[in-house]
Structure 1
Amino acid sequence: MTTPKHPGPSFASPASHRRWHRPLGPLLLASSLWLVACESGEAPSTDDGPGAVAERAAPTLESRLPGIRTVPDPLCLEEYAGTTGLLTPSLLDADQYNALEGGAEAAPEVARELPGVVHLRGRQQSFDGEHYYAVHEGRIYLKANRETTGIDQPWRALRLPRCLDGQVSEISADGSVLLALNQARQIYTLDYANGAIGAGGWTRRWGPFFWTDLGGWIFEDVRDWATTHFTGSDEYFVDGGGYKQAPAGILNVFLLRGDGLRITYLDPWLPMDQSREVCGPERGTTVMAGLSGSGSTAMVVAADGEIYTRLYEFDVSGGNAIFLDYSWQDQRELAQPKIQLPPPDWIHHPRVPGRITDRISLRKLPPGSEHRLMRVEGLDASGNSGYWEKDQADSSARAWRFVATGEPLQGRLLPLPQPHRGQAEDYQYQGRLDGYSAELLDFNPYCSPARLRVDVAGEAVELELHSTDGLRQERRARGLDLYPRYYRAAVKVPEPLWQTRSQRSAAVQAFLNKHFAERPVLETELYATLGQVRIAQACWTLSRDPGNLLDALTQPPLLDPGTVLAILLAQQEDGRQPPLCLL
């Protein structure tokens, strides 16, 4: 077979490759939305300088109409089998082999085009704790990771599924998982620790229930993406309270979107849509220029050169109520603390003492989530090219160490001549709580907490509304719309107010006693739309003008048994009864 040459990622593809990965969706609603809104998912113009405010990309039809399930490619049906993702892997590939021993050695003319060492992860080259990977002419080659194994060996071909062979456009690896994209950016997954490393280990399945939906993909505007796998050598992760928690097998993919203001994340156990995001640094207002990830940790470099890392994904953030126990209550002094919410926030790292680019890389280091090896491409004071590196856990300004490689810089030098900040995606709601006027000043569908201000008999009571995305097994649109979006949430009395509550007016004391009693945290379900926020446990409702209803039209979500089960389990974990008010 003649193999086309693919020197870099191509986001366009023949219709025969592109047509089968799109989801089943409500076509009549899509047609209506097309008539009322001609929107683009491309990044907004960045002609303005660093002092200007970056615009968020407008919603697309794909983000508003994610469909129900993915249509499989009938020409490649065998690729929806494979051992990866099965609850009980069966060795479908009898001809399995060890990655360090098997596979045909790369031809000399191919080997000359491949790197000697993979220093930084990217879309064409990647690594994990055992291997280097590289893409050449639509195929994947691998060899031992010399830095971690001490083994120096030639590149060998990785066996690929029939429809992927010669069509690989991008890759990303972490832990024991390798993700590869074809020319249509459809996802192929290989977990060589839980199946075979031959063609039988690959699968195109992605999504519920239990990794059985028939395909996922990387969205067209995504500029950087990273596979992260938290398992194997990872003994624990550190939760939002600083407690060590045992991880489950966690596969997560971070996607840096085209406007630089959003990080979408995908999980093969969750619906294939654009509804889940990681709130970016500075409450989602930092314009990000580059992204990498490892072990459920995202690393970003901003357009102004600032660098951040954050441990975040579905299990860590509080979404997996079925298999894990969480709590918004203080877990100090408990023998077996639950996973403390809220999850860990961004870590802002010292600036690199040299010129850097937006090409970055992250690699997990055992034993726990606090250790990650950070690398940033750049120059030293003498103009030598290479990369700066440090451990995430070392916060000192002198932690950065330069490693010269002599390789040409591939990233964009920072700072970028474009806006460095954007507007927060905040909404303001108003209402009356227990007869008192109240304002929810800055509720954000992806960034928590929000400020809840209640005027209790003329005295302002400032509360915190914390929220985290709840479990869903059915697809829904991104952000807020006309349909209630479920969050696991809590209203918290700030520590200074809680400690001085006995000194407040009788009305304030009565208000706090009614809703908080002896604990400063009220755990609750929260349901949010563009027009209303309902804090269920307290029977509080706040409202706003939802704006143009045509602009808010999205795909109606299906009844989601996963959400219903998650709500019941969360109530059981919290030790509370369902709210008495009619929701």
Structure 2
Amino acid sequence: MRRGALIAAAGLVLAGVTTQSASIADPGCLPVGTVGTPEVTVDESTAGLSDFAPATVALPEQVYFRTTTESFNRRWTFATRDGNVYVKEAAAQGSWRTVALPGCLAGTIAGVSADDDEVMLIDRDGRFITMDRALSAPKDWNWSSRYGTPLWTGPGNTLPPGALTWSWSVLSPDEDHVWTDTAGNEHPVGGAKVSHVFALTHGGQRIQYVDPWLPVDHSYEMGLPFGGRFQAVALSTSASTSLIVNRFGDFYTRLYDFDISGADKVFFRYSYQDQRGLPEAPDMLSERIDSRYAAIQLPAPDWVAQPKVPGEITDRISIHRTGPGSAARELRVEGRDGGRTGFWRKTLTENAWTFVTTDQPLAGAALENSPVNRAEETLSPPSPYDYQGVSPQGWTASVQSFDLAVSPTPLRIEFGDGTELDVVLHTVDGLRQTPQQPGITDQPRFFDGTIEVPQQLLAELDTQPATVRNFVRNTLGGNRFTDTSVDVTDARLHIAVWEITLNRR
């Protein structure tokens, strides 16, 4: 969650706070530090690195992939072995040193993922530990086991159960500056950063993300391609851009996080109305309060299919930022070409992959990598949540295969004379400060909703049956977009603006 100017003040307050008692993610010895605040000053030296003992375990000369055991940002490369963490300068060959962990962490670390100026560590119990100021000198690094509301001071959190893999993602004003929405407009990242753990769960059928400013739960998700039915075998995320692949070597990328999704209405202004051609705001405050500037275009960016790799590949994939802006990303996938091992690489927008030879042994599991896209052959079953209900006015509304992470959803209106109207229900899993159960359960789940009438139908409204014309003009006010709250359980779906409850079928 991107924090605006508020976080700077919060960081000053929290700098002197220490952890007093154990929690789900608190080993009991870590200060809160100033985790999550932007780096006002950065020490470009290596001060403190020589204080770390030389590594005594076998580690690669160079790390080419951001995985859960080896990772990098533009300054440092990290690795974990046997519960410990090791570091070297990213541009240097070898020269690994053993990071001096707080005593309670020594020998407990099972995973590491670096992005921007933060490093996420996960211990053997799945607990999150964050190291901040990771673009500065090692003497400046600090640690925190805190995670969750309020303001990254919550009791801590853990990796979602059953995660196949995970990745730490940070989007920041210092490194990224701006990001681009679906209208092509650039937006300032804001006064701070947006940080998530993205986890591939449920056998590759779901992506859950865990933000340190949101409640201590595992309730937020990013929908997969093909209406959430794509089955991924690997995931990597950097600067809010995710890269996934299935067992046939079909790659997709998506720019998405909590704020980009449309959920953070406290700090940002969003709109489904076309924002193309409107001037871009000079700063975050102007964008939020001045309607002369472009709002953030909704819906959020969708998944983009990437070209097929022209050679052998494994499921060892990686994405990392290469500079400011949403297009500055490099994709990598381990593989082989002409009998030599290495990795295939491309930028986010290039149309073809090129091969880089490393002659390192392949570490990932081989993928079939068919020459054509076969994603539809591996789709999971549709969501089982179908709802239907009758309005007080007598018309019937129905929704099929509702998925909390997928938007938009087709919404059909049926009238007594047999005519039908197909509209679209957009849903955004909004900001909350109390825990929510994962998935759709008997606990009501509240969404920011918007009903959209197709533009072509509006343009041809006079040619539509009378019941459709009257409904659009009277019930929807002739508007293309109508905002509404939507709450859902495993038994019903309620659309507030129409005062209609759809029951599970």
TMscore range, shorter length: 0.7 to 0.9
Select which of 434, 437, 456 maps to 1:477: 437
| Post-superposition offset of 1:72 | 6.2
Secondary structure of the corresponding residue to residue 438 of structure 1: strand
**Is the CA contact 1:103–1:157 (under 8 Å) kept in the aligned structure 2?**
no
Letter in 2 for 1:305: G
Secondary structure of the corresponding residue to residue 363 of structure 1: strand
| Post-superposition offset of 1:523 | 1.4
Q: TM-score, normalised by structure 1?
A: 0.74
**Is the CA contact 2:389–2:398 (under 8 Å) kept in the aligned structure 1?**
yes
1:155 paired to 2:96: yes
What per-residue deviation string (whole Å, max 9, x for no partner) do you get for residues 486-528 of structure 1? Answer: 1111111112212111211222111001233343111111111
1:438 paired to 2:397: yes
What per-residue deviation string (whole Å, max 9, x for no partner) do you get for residues 128-182 of structure 1? Answer: 1211111233222222222xxxx56722333322211232211000011101122
d(CA) in 1 for partners of 2:24 and 2:322? 38
- Which residue matches 1:528? 488
Q: Within 5 Å, which residues of 2 pair with 1:241-390?
A: 241-248=183-190, 249-335=193-279, 336-380=293-337, 382-390=338-346
- Which residue matches 1:103? 49
Select which of 177, 183, 204 maps to 1:235: 177
- Which residue matches 1:538? 498
| Pair 1:366–1:85, CA change in 2 (3 A) | closer
Greater relative contact order, per chain length (Cα 8 Å cut-off, separation 6+): 1
Secondary structure of the corresponding residue to residue 344 of structure 1: coil
- Which residue matches 1:494? 454
- Which residue matches 1:168? 109
Q: TM-score, normalised by structure 2?
A: 0.85
Select which of 354, 361, 365 maps to 1:401: 354
Letter in 2 for 1:308: Y
Unaligned runs of 5+ residues in structure 2 are: 1-20, 280-292
Secondary structure of the corresponding residue to residue 476 of structure 1: coil
Secondary structure of the corresponding residue to residue 288 of structure 1: coil
- Which residue matches 1:82? 33
Q: Within 5 Å, which residues of 2 pair with 1:210-229?
A: 210-229=151-170
Select which of 429, 443, 448 maps to 2:387: 429
What per-residue deviation string (whole Å, max 9, x for no partner) do you get for residues 346-378 of structure 1? Answer: 011111001111110000122211231000011
Secondary structure of the corresponding residue to residue 424 of structure 1: coil
Task: Indicate the larger mover: 534-543 or 265-274.
Answer: 534-543
**Is the CA contact 1:130–1:145 (under 8 Å) kept in the aligned structure 2?**
yes
**Is the CA contact 1:317–1:342 (under 8 Å) kept in the aligned structure 2?**
yes
Task: Indicate the larger mover: 328-337 or 507-516.
Answer: 328-337
| Pair 1:416–1:379, CA change in 2 (3 A) | closer
**Is the CA contact 1:265–1:276 (under 8 Å) kept in the aligned structure 2?**
yes
d(CA) in 1 for partners of 2:153 and 2:409? 36
| Pair 1:71–1:294, CA change in 2 (3 A) | closer
d(CA) in 2 for partners of 1:97 and 1:220? 38
| Post-superposition offset of 1:252 | 1.0
**Is the CA contact 1:97–1:198 (under 8 Å) kept in the aligned structure 2?**
no
| Pair 1:426–1:492, CA change in 2 (3 A) | farther
| Pair 1:101–1:114, CA change in 2 (3 A) | farther
Unaligned runs of 5+ residues in structure 1 are: 1-19, 22-69, 546-583
d(CA) in 1 for partners of 2:502 and 2:202? 33
d(CA) in 1 for partners of 2:388 and 2:206? 27
Select which of 115, 130, 146 maps to 2:60: 115
